[in-house]
Homo-oligomer: A and B are copies of this chain.
Amino acid sequence: MSMDERQLPEEVRESVEQAWPLFVDFLKKKEARITQARKIVLTQVFMRHDHFCADDLAAELSSGPNHVSRGTVYRTLALMEEAGLVRVIRDTDVHAHYEHTFNHPQHEHMICDQCGQFIEFSDEQIVKLIAKACSAHGFRERTHRIAVFGICRTCAGGA
């Protein structure tokens, strides 16, 4: 329960010191509470260099002095995402989506947050730039996937 910040690596402490006030503001605006558990989760997030999965984080916090339950970790991560402090880079939608590729050239998708509609678009330039980035990194591309999230014209304009 202590959340003793003196034990944190320097750069982690720095990030936490900057990010925590932002989360506090967000929570206040939402009229939600500032709790120990939320601070512990936020701190643990910044302990990770980059990518992590919710479940690993939950496992790390499942024991020890800074114990936070699995459910709370998931709930807090959702809040942090809403606050813009964390980004989902690979999600598990309720289920997998497919499309057939036959007579259906590569294209990308915009997905409406509100109605869930998929809008297809394609851009040769983008495809080329991705290929370029790959060769710059010595990465052999098999396929790529672009998803843009936001609000579609209908949902934005209408009712």
Contact = CB atoms under 8 A, between A and B. Distances in A.
A152 interface: yes
Contact of A156 (B53, B112, B140): B140
A86 B103 contact: no
Given A97-B90, A126-B129, A142 B156 contact: no
A145 B142 contact: no
A109 B97 contact: no
Each complex incorporates copies of this chain amounting to 2
Contacts of A100: 15, 19, 45-46, 48, 50, 85-87
Interface residues of A, number: 72
A77 B101 CA distance: 13
A54 B148 CA distance: 22
B130 A153 contact: no
A95 B77 CA distance: 13
Nearest to A56: B95
Interface string A91-107: 11111111111111000
A97 B89 contact: yes
A137 B137 CA distance: 32
A146 interface: yes
A149 B141 contact: yes
Interface of A: 15, 18-19, 22, 45-46, 48, 50-55, 77, 81, 84-104, 108-110, 112-113, 118-121, 123, 125-126, 129-130, 133-134, 136-153, 156-157
